[in-house]
Structure 1
Amino acid sequence: MSRPSLLATGPETVYRSGVTLAPTADLTELVVLLTEDGTPCGTALKSQVHHTSTPLHLAFSCWLLDDAGRTLLTRRAATKRTWPGVWTNSFCGHPGPGEEPADAVVRRSVQELGIEVEGVTSLLPSFRYRAVMADGTVENEVCPVFTARIATGSGDLVPDPDEVDEFRWVHLDELREQIAADPSPFSPWMLWQWERFPR
């Protein structure tokens, strides 16, 4: 299945949902750096921002939900710089300079999962975390959390293999049991978000 069809291409891309996105090269290559109080204070290349002294920067997480009470879990590609091969919430990303996090959710759903989303809703607007991998690599993010649904007519999931190795839909009750039994397969930010997830 191909990625979602576009209404137009060129200097700007217009998706069926009516969202207009400018070319994404600058957005996907730069992340927004933040002061301790969350004020933007500059940018850095995404490829260079994650290391043992990762500066605080802006991100987002999104949980896709469906009418059956399930959420989409994805397993991060084995080639990812941070937490390769772990299961996590549906998708994450970094808003570009001047981009609202909710707009980044819409953009990133197409890039990472090949689908459009609708009903983007703020869940944890002030979520912040810091996590350290075994090799010392740090994630350090102000990361507002959203829920969303796959847009009607969006088609099948077509994940980017550079981002996602596997995916599966799981009922929230089943996920609760899995996490209680063994949280180790899941990303730390997913687990911390889950602790605050409405029951």
Structure 2
Amino acid sequence: MGRGDALSPVRVGAAGEPLRAPEAAVGDDGRVVAPVARELIVLVDDDGTEIGTLPKSLVHHGETPLHRAFSAYLFDEAGRLLVTRRAEDKATFPGMWTNTVCGHPGPGEDDPTAIARRARYELGLGVADLRPAVPSYRYRAVFRGVVENEICPVWIGRFTGTPAPEPTEVGEWEVLDWAEFRARQEAQLDDAWSPWCREQARLIEAAGLVPTGA
């Protein structure tokens, strides 16, 4: 099947229980193992109502269906933001710098649980003090023919621990003061930072939600 071919979603509750993202295994090092082939993405309509699921490996292509996602901006105790560079072999927006962690809640999984799961898997980190920043955020973006099309609430919070990236997800990471983070976005080429991160950063600022000291 090609990336642009039509895909039939697997309905929640259809015959044959689908694999669910929260059922990912835990490795010997305590990290959550979340293989792409086992992760289900929740498809939604324009109102955000769930209409089915698809395996993550089949979702992103030239006609990516609208689906649930999240973006999290996690800060250290000094108010500095942890930013990450997406691994070069990611299916969407490879090699771009972005916010701390992005991902997709699985069927029946709320955003805070999904954020904690992905932060542990991608970065080996704990998460604390999560709160919604831009709860109604939605976007569509295209890079190299692959579309992202998401209802993607934005969250802010704090990370605990020392980053230990999963190399298939994260190529690099840095901890930056908010002012430096924004200055880099303004100075660097469009393809250096994910389009959602650029827009979300402006919305977080406009809402007055940048942590004190950042």
What TM-score, normalized by structure 2, do the two folds share? 0.77
Counterpart position of 1:106: 116
Pick closer, same or farther for the CA change 1:127–1:183 going to 2, 3 Å.
farther
Structure-2 separation of matches of 1:124 and 1:62: 10
Counterpart position of 1:47: 57
Shift of 1:90: 0.5
> How many residues end up aligned between the 2 structures?
178
CA contact (8 A) 1:28 1:94 kept: no
Shift of 1:27: 10
Q: Please list, as runs of the form range in 1=range in 2, the aligned pairs for 1:1-199 lying within 5 A after superposition.
A: 29-133=39-143, 135-151=144-160, 155-184=161-190, 185-198=192-205, 199=208
Q: Which runs of 5+ in 2 are unaligned?
A: 1-23, 27-31, 209-214
Percentage of identical aligned residues: 46
Secondary structure of the equivalent of 1:191?
helix
Counterpart position of 2:3: none
Q: Compute the RMSD of aligned alpha carbons.
A: 2.3
Shift of 1:115: 1.2
Structure-2 separation of matches of 1:171 and 1:43: 38
Q: Which moved more, 1:61-70 or 1:165-174?
A: 61-70
CA contact (8 A) 1:59 1:141 kept: yes
Shift of 1:44: 0.4
CA contact (8 A) 1:66 1:149 kept: yes
The one-letter code matched in structure 2 to 1:187 is: S
